Amino acid sequence: MGMPPGDASVRQLAFDFAANVTDGLSLWREQQRAALRRLGAELGFPVGSNCEVVLKSGMVLRGRLLLDEEDFFPVARRDSAMLLIDKVNFSIGEIASCVRID
């Protein structure tokens, strides 16, 4: 004995996941960027600025200093946070000097 097709107790719930994907994803990305900026400030580096970074190996990098966003849960430990300039990533522990140039 079945229920009539219009009966609310048997209708399947429909979720509209696509409706707010852009807004939710944009909000999440902005929150991630803000968290990375805060972490950069806490670590004492001018994240988001043009810099000249000299690594202990002698390599000189010039460009926009970014925190490596590959790690979804960046750590706040000074020696293990990863930075990035022009697709070259390095740890904070590898930096000999960092000068803002913009």
Task: Tell me, yes or no, whether 26 lies in a domain.
Answer: yes
Task: Tell me, yes or no, whether 2 lies in a domain.
Answer: no
Burial label, 83 (beta-carbon count in 10 A; 0-12, 13-18, 19+): buried
User: Measured between alpha carbons, how far apart are the two ends of the chain, in Å?
Assistant: 76
Task: Tell me, yes or no, whether 3 lies in a domain.
Answer: no
Question: pLDDT-based confidence at 102, cuts 50/70/90?
Answer: confident
Q: Which two tokens stand for residue 89?
A: 């990533």
Task: Tell me, yes or no, whether 92 lies in a domain.
Answer: yes
* 33 neighbors 75 (Cβ within 8 angstroms): no
Show the domain range for 64: 21-100
Task: Tell me, yes or no, whether 1 lies in a domain.
Answer: no
Q: How many CB atoms are located within 10 Å of the residue 92 CB?
A: 17
Task: Tell me, yes or no, whether 16 lies in a domain.
Answer: no
Whether the pLDDT of residue 69 is over 90: the answer is no
Question: pLDDT-based confidence at 42, cuts 50/70/90?
Answer: confident
Task: Tell me, yes or no, whether 9 lies in a domain.
Answer: no
Question: pLDDT-based confidence at 60, cuts 50/70/90?
Answer: very high
Whole-number Å distance between alpha carbons of 27 and 42: 22
**Number of domains composing the chain:** 1
Which residue from 40, 89, 39 is spatially nearest to 63, judged by alpha carbons?
Answer: 89
Whichever domain contains 43, its CATH number is 2.30.30.100
Task: Tell me, yes or no, whether 33 lies in a domain.
Answer: yes
Whole-number Å distance between alpha carbons of 8 and 3: 10
